[in-house]
Structure 1
Amino acid sequence: MTVSNLDTVAVAQGSPDTEQPWAELGLKPDEYERIREILDRRPTSAELAMYSVMWSEHCSYKSSKVHLKRFGDLPSETPLGKTLAGIGENAGVIDIGQGWAVTFKVESHNHPSYVEPYQGAATGIGGIVRDIMAMGARPIAVMDPLRFGAIDHPDTARVLPGVVKGIGGYGNSLGLPNIGGEIVFDECYQGNPLVNALCVGSLRHEDLHLANASGTGNKIVLFGAKTGGDGIGGVSVLASETFEEGGPAKRPAVQVGDPFAEKVLIECCLDLYAARVVEGIQDLGGAGLSCATSELASAGDGGMQIELDKVPLRDSTLRAEEILMSESQERMMAVVAPDKLDAFLEITGRWDVEAAVLGEVTDGDRLVITWHGETIVDVPPRSVAHDGPVYERPIARPEWLDAVQADSSSSLPRPADPGADLLALLASSNICDKTWVTDQYDRYVLGNTKRAMPHDSGVVRVDEESGLGVAVSTDCNGRFGRLDPYAGAQLALAESYRNVATSGALPLAVTDCLNFGSPEDPGVMWQFQQAIGGLFDACLELGIPVTGGNVSFYNQTGETAVHPTPVVGVLGVIDDVATSVASGFRAKGEIVLLLGETRDELDGGEWAHALHGHLGGQPPVVDLAAEKALASFFVDAVRRGVLASSHDLSDGGLAVALAESVLTGGTGASVDLSPVLDRDGIDAFTALYSESTARALVTVRSESDLVTVVGIAEAHGVPVARLGTTDADRLKVKDVLDLGLEEMGAAHTGTMARYFG
């Protein structure tokens, strides 16, 4: 929404004959009528503005609620204790032992990042960090799963550099390490990139804060940056409609971030928590004050009264509706007991953070907002924040799916020169080295990062005394989601779960960012329903809760929707980050082992996609029992210190895992596939490029460690095949290929620089 759209909102509410601009604000006819029924009158222009942003798809989840409620049936217990905060809070919080808890969440900033790449991505980081702050935690790391259109498309050259600079510019300025994520290129994301942002924070159990306004007479304090005209409607509107062909056209709706103001806000909040002067707190993100006031009041035990003219403004010409809808960044709202208000304001003053008392908690059940003495909002807060529309959208399996699933990659020609295929794959857009991007992020600021890109997961220390820490990974293969959204969601979870496990961490909890096309398309809703079912069933089998996340619909340009892309983040705990295992062959003479079973599973994989432009068939089989066994193996083996390296097998299969391991560590390897071919009944090509799940590549330093590892694997039911040893500066696969590290490195590292300079 642009500011000019709001000119029509400020219609004199006392003119009943004047048509209200509910359609221009994104409301449907039945939604407008429902607002009138709730209020038993015509809404004021301010109320109409509030309902319009809070009932948007982005804020209300009106098309996804009926499906997401399944996650509430998952167990909240983890092996280390109870989930301390889950779905419905600003972010999930889980117990990781020793009195520590971590909070983590992933959200989308897709459409704003297409419209204004730098600010869209930057404010995506700012928003997710404030979600973590609102739980009482100190943010300790961020991650970014990113997806763009074709690497050689002109618009990718416009969007990607801006997004990367926005993420780096905001995150680096905050002093937060960026420890992982993904960068995927696919034509389906042309015109609709996916810019997801994850943040992790740490806190002691007693520091947990929740978003509710309780206690009659408690004061409502807005603090942080002043409210401006940037971001009016913002993500709440941008993320709730489909893009049309023709490019960016909604720049005024994108928020503008100030990372240095947010850094001060972080420290100020932590001081407020330490002083115990906050009863409840809410960040201001999507829908701004409309969201903060209605959600705090709705989650509390009374009502709320707000004087809107007390909001500090950057632009004195803003109207009440604009103030309510502004999504200006770096703002928080706190509930403060009257006897603690002076202490609260002393702390905000010490940090030079502007604070204004806007009102108080009342003993009624209404949210009342005044503007220069006139009541402009008088609503039941739940009707705005939680009891919005709930749609059961039509669902239909797409007619095109049968033909796609029947089009297997088995008909594609096998390579005459396997070495040439591996070099081409290493240079392909999704496999190529991404340090052009990751070098723009500070990965080790704060001094607690143990692992970051290019390792399987990011590992960061939480407790500097004991070494207690967490590993986090995000993953999703949208091509698998297109072939089978149920299996695709499970495969995303399985890979993220596996990435966390290979570091030696015990997987504990899930957050997700569900990126789909228009919910008004029955085929898209079928994909969404299937993905939810897949995630639920997989989490149930793995015994891992979903603690929160985000749904992003309308990722569609015209009639072209993105592949179903349910990005899944998994967080695991490791007793001492010093024991975590890295990927990469770093020393000669180590023994190379393949864990897991390989099947003929090439459909949807990188070999078919990158080298042949093919997408069809059935995705790899999901074996959650095998994933769980593999994770148990890694936790056991890492604690016993018998692994020299570990790397999961995923995109590009064993061939790419071997290549990445020799390139990351700088040491070659000589391997023989015969043990795998004989055991699994496959040929060498399948052994190299299959993307079968529940597999990993590890090395051990000695024969005695090998005996121990084989024993651990047998105890957990994990198949082991001895492939060879690390040596010299070449990757040799007996009777298949022989490539030098220098040649492989040149192919791997040249792609990003060629396209982006």
Structure 2
Amino acid sequence: MSLSDPDHELVAAELGRDPTPAEAALFENLWSEHCAYRSSRPLLSAFDSEADQVVVGPGDDAAVVSLPTYGDDAAETYVAMGIESHNHPSYVDPYDGAATGVGGIVRDILSMGAYPIALTDSLYFGGFDREHSRYLFEGVVEGIADYGNAIGVPTVGGSVEFHDDYEGNPLVNVACVGLVTPDRLVTAEAKTPGNKLVLVGNATGRDGLGGASFASEDLSEDAETEDRPAVQVGDPYTEKLLIEANEALVDENLIRAARDLGAAGLGGASSELVAKGGLGAHIELDRVHQREPNMSALEILLAESQERMCYEVRPEDVERVQEIADRYDLGCSVIGEVQEGNYVCTFEDETVVDVPAEFLADGAPMNDLPMEEPVEAARDLPDADLESAFDAVVGNPNTASKEWVYRQYDHEVGTRTARRPGDDAAIMAIRESGTGLALSAGAIPAWTDANPYDGARAVALENATNLAAKGAVPHAAVDCLNGGNPEKPDVYGGFGAIVDGLADMCRDLSVPVVGGNVSLYNDSVAGPIPPTPTVAMIGVREGYDAPPLTVTGEGSLLEVGARGGALGGSTYLATQGGSDGFPDLPADPTAAVDAVRAVADLDSTLATHDVSHGGLAVTLAEMVGSAGISAAVEDAAALFDETPGRVVVETTDPAAVEAAAGDVPVRDLGAATAKADLTLSVGDEQLTRDADGIRGLRDVIDRELE
């Protein structure tokens, strides 16, 4: 670790002296791209974060939004939501890297006084045909499953994508939601000088040293060995105890402010906590409970050991906090207190840090980097055979069944999961408010690789459509913006385009973006990743019921929504070759989403499934279950078009669907049938696949990993 020369000069000028080694390391980590968003913060003002439902917006450990209430006995309830990336650690150590990503985002939810109720994971790897990609994939899924299952928080949704450009740098983006009532809400803003700072949780070791700076550099060729010390090691059983202890502390109103220990460890959490309140602190590093002997001040400050929380506590409440920590067999150290003035750390009676807290936490200068505008591909469509194209698209790892992933997760623990993984969106039963909370998360890198701006708009629309397909109104979103090395103008141009595209579509949909995460320098010897804007979006509906994904065999099939007339970014082109511009998105995306939601809520609706990844080919194949489908489209372009904002509905009342859709186009596709197969007429050609054949195509991940 080393502070750059320009930053060293700025720090020395502010302090009036050279920084101490501990100060230099603190600034190097807290002013890193990972913590300070030096290249991305200038772009993030594009997002609209304000709305009536927003209680806490960007800047805290997690965002908080209020839920609508339904029923006479409904209570006012808030949802805390956040998203985290653990990309570089998951390349170096896929199991621990992914596991500690789960632990970190759960603690962000705890910081708000909330109890975590659901996780989603959005995962991106190199080509599925590569052994190393499958090794990373299996390790990451195992890490998420083992940690999430052990702490009792269900993983209810997400996405898995494979793309050659993630080979040297996979992405692991994990989101979490939790529940909190208005009287229990906690923030990360220190309140009062004289209050104590109390560290609760695991003992501090040397794991994760320099993790923030490690996450702000390109991965080197020998990262798997050289950077392993920067990867944290998780202990989910301690995290479960911390979840329950945090709940007990909130129950007794013992917490004035809270911050979880993540990037930059104790130094990051404690300095940000007091800086947010315009205050300082005096911390005695010798008091930190440690699991390894002879740790230095720098190691204690910057270690990213997991399962730790920093609390601001009134002096008269400290003894009770210690009693609760003891009850849950957690370590507890009174490490200092909030004060006016500087952020000061002492070690062995020597002052090792004495700096203005706000300068440390928020003083990093922003980067002004050049951008190059992305260029869209020309149209060059292949002349593909229908049957082979259908089999390739439906059997592609990106569109194939992800059951191998989600069956490893406990998605029902907590008894709130009303709609499980495998559907367009998960639904959680928030019985306190009578609300069905729908969750959708993910991105499609082929879209943003083809056209970063419109691809990001499509990602936002796709997530909103997933919610609407289950009858939910999009309510709020958080994002994880992943990009390559921003010092490369073409890479930074693509990153800027996904920010603008996501912001514009969320604004069009009136969905506030209430928080998120940025991960840059996702670059390796294999090259940069595609710009990847993972969105985790929540929707709300009255009650918890929603139409299923598979057809019943008793109704007509209609497509609701407009096609975009192009195949850029599609699975069809990825499997068949060729290129095309990105499809046109709906001119009125709100009308498109409203139409989907209105149709899903009709009593005559028997099944709904959104159209996106793989187009109608994949949507119809996934809707076949114990009943089948007979459908017709005009040509291959209509079958493989991936324009989001559409849904296929099985209905007993086509006229009601047309009335509910309003001005949004509705097409007759055919009918559901009693026979469990799919018969497709595409122009003059016809194709039939029975349910077993479809299942065989879609089980490619299971077959390869058995």
TM over 0.5: yes
Correspondence for 1:9: none
Helix, strand or coil at the partner of 1:184: strand
Helix, strand or coil at the partner of 1:124: helix
1: CA distance, partners of 2:174 / 2:134: 21
Structure 2: 5+ residue stretches without partners: 70-75
Q: In the alignment, is residue 668 of structure 1 matched against residue 636 of structure 2?
A: no
Q: Is contact 2:600–2:608 with CA below 8 Å preserved after alignment?
A: no
TM-superposed deviation, 1:262: 0.4
The range that moved more, 60-69 or 260-269, is: 60-69
Q: In the alignment, is residue 405 of structure 1 matched against residue 377 of structure 2?
A: yes
Q: Is contact 1:125–1:170 with CA below 8 Å preserved after alignment?
A: yes
TM-superposed deviation, 1:360: 0.9
TM-superposed deviation, 1:382: 0.9
TM-superposed deviation, 1:258: 0.4
2: CA distance, partners of 1:466 / 1:538: 29
Match of 1:343 among 287, 311, 320: 320
Q: In the alignment, is residue 610 of structure 1 matched against residue 586 of structure 2?
A: no
Helix, strand or coil at the partner of 1:291: helix
Correspondence for 1:5: none
Q: In the alignment, is residue 722 of structure 1 matched against residue 668 of structure 2?
A: yes
Alignment of 1:151-550 (within 5 A): 151-234=128-211, 236-246=212-222, 248-249=224-225, 250-362=227-339, 364-397=340-373, 401=375, 405-406=377-378, 408-410=379-381, 412-415=382-385, 418-463=386-431, 467-550=434-517
**What is the CA deviation profile of residues 82-140 of structure 1, one whole-angstrom value per residue up to 9, with x for unaligned ones?**
30011111111111123111111111100100000000000000001111111111100
TM-superposed deviation, 1:296: 0.8
Q: In the alignment, is residue 620 of structure 1 matched against residue 583 of structure 2?
A: yes
Match of 2:654 among 706, 728, 737: 706
- Report the CA distance shift for 1:361/1:26 in structure 2 as closer, same or farther (over 3 A): same
TM-superposed deviation, 1:26: 4.2
Helix, strand or coil at the partner of 2:605: coil
Q: In the alignment, is residue 589 of structure 1 matched against residue 589 of structure 2?
A: no
Q: Which amino acid in 1 is paired with 2:632?
A: D
Q: Is contact 1:88–1:548 with CA below 8 Å preserved after alignment?
A: yes
Q: Is contact 2:39–2:369 with CA below 8 Å preserved after alignment?
A: yes
Correspondence for 1:680: none
1: CA distance, partners of 2:380 / 2:643: 15
TM-superposed deviation, 1:589: 1.8
Helix, strand or coil at the partner of 1:736: strand
Runs of 4+ that moved beyond 6 A: none
2: CA distance, partners of 1:240 / 1:351: 36
Q: Is contact 1:466–1:576 with CA below 8 Å preserved after alignment?
A: no
The range that moved more, 157-166 or 246-255, is: 246-255
Match of 1:690 among 638, 641, 647: 641
Q: Is contact 1:106–1:513 with CA below 8 Å preserved after alignment?
A: yes
| TM-score where L is the length of structure 1 | 0.89
Correspondence for 1:678: none
**What is the CA deviation profile of residues 598-635 of structure 1, one whole-angstrom value per residue up to 9, with x for unaligned ones?**
242212100110233x5x4321222251x312322344
1: CA distance, partners of 2:596 / 2:135: 42
TM-superposed deviation, 1:293: 1.2
Match of 1:732 among 672, 679, 685: 679
Q: Is contact 1:475–1:493 with CA below 8 Å preserved after alignment?
A: no
Match of 1:150 among 105, 115, 127: 127
Correspondence for 1:100: 77
1: CA distance, partners of 2:290 / 2:223: 32
TM-superposed deviation, 1:405: 1.4
Q: Is contact 2:2–2:25 with CA below 8 Å preserved after alignment?
A: no
Match of 1:59 among 35, 40, 48: 35
TM-superposed deviation, 1:499: 0.7
Match of 1:741 among 691, 702, 706: 691
Q: Is contact 2:53–2:67 with CA below 8 Å preserved after alignment?
A: no
TM-superposed deviation, 1:706: 3.1
Q: Is contact 1:422–1:655 with CA below 8 Å preserved after alignment?
A: yes
2: CA distance, partners of 1:646 / 1:276: 45
Q: Which amino acid in 1 is paired with 2:395?
A: A
Structure 1: 5+ residue stretches without partners: 1-24, 674-682
Q: Is contact 2:49–2:513 with CA below 8 Å preserved after alignment?
A: no
Correspondence for 1:89: 60
Correspondence for 1:563: 530
- The aligned length equals 695
TM-superposed deviation, 1:267: 0.7
TM-superposed deviation, 1:638: 4.0
Q: Which amino acid in 2 is paired with 1:590?
A: G
Correspondence for 1:12: none
1: CA distance, partners of 2:487 / 2:3: 14
**What is the CA deviation profile of residues 426-474 of structure 1, one whole-angstrom value per residue up to 9, with x for unaligned ones?**
22121121211111111111111112321011111122x5541211111
1: CA distance, partners of 2:278 / 2:40: 27
- Report the CA distance shift for 1:122/1:559 in structure 2 as closer, same or farther (over 3 A): closer
- Report the CA distance shift for 1:480/1:269 in structure 2 as closer, same or farther (over 3 A): same
* CA-atom RMSD in angstroms: 1.6
TM-superposed deviation, 1:536: 2.0
**What is the CA deviation profile of residues 381-413 of structure 1, one whole-angstrom value per residue up to 9, with x for unaligned ones?**
111111112111122235xx3xx512x242x11
Q: Is contact 2:442–2:534 with CA below 8 Å preserved after alignment?
A: yes
Match of 1:642 among 592, 604, 629: 604
- Report the CA distance shift for 1:642/1:76 in structure 2 as closer, same or farther (over 3 A): farther
TM-superposed deviation, 1:245: 3.0
2: CA distance, partners of 1:394 / 1:559: 23
Q: Is contact 2:168–2:526 with CA below 8 Å preserved after alignment?
A: no
2: CA distance, partners of 1:521 / 1:44: 33
The range that moved more, 111-120 or 370-379, is: 370-379
Helix, strand or coil at the partner of 2:275: helix
1: CA distance, partners of 2:122 / 2:587: 23
1: CA distance, partners of 2:359 / 2:526: 33
**What is the CA deviation profile of residues 220-273 of structure 1, one whole-angstrom value per residue up to 9, with x for unaligned ones?**
100010000111112x12211011335513111100000010011001101111
Correspondence for 1:19: none
2: CA distance, partners of 1:753 / 1:589: 31
| TM-score where L is the length of structure 2 | 0.96
Q: Which amino acid in 2 is paired with 1:489?
A: A
Correspondence for 2:72: none
Q: Percent identity, aligned pairs only?
A: 38
**What is the CA deviation profile of residues 343-374 of structure 1, one whole-angstrom value per residue up to 9, with x for unaligned ones?**
22222222222211111111x22111111221
- Report the CA distance shift for 1:494/1:354 in structure 2 as closer, same or farther (over 3 A): same
**What is the CA deviation profile of residues 534-575 of structure 1, one whole-angstrom value per residue up to 9, with x for unaligned ones?**
222222222111111111111111361111111112111122
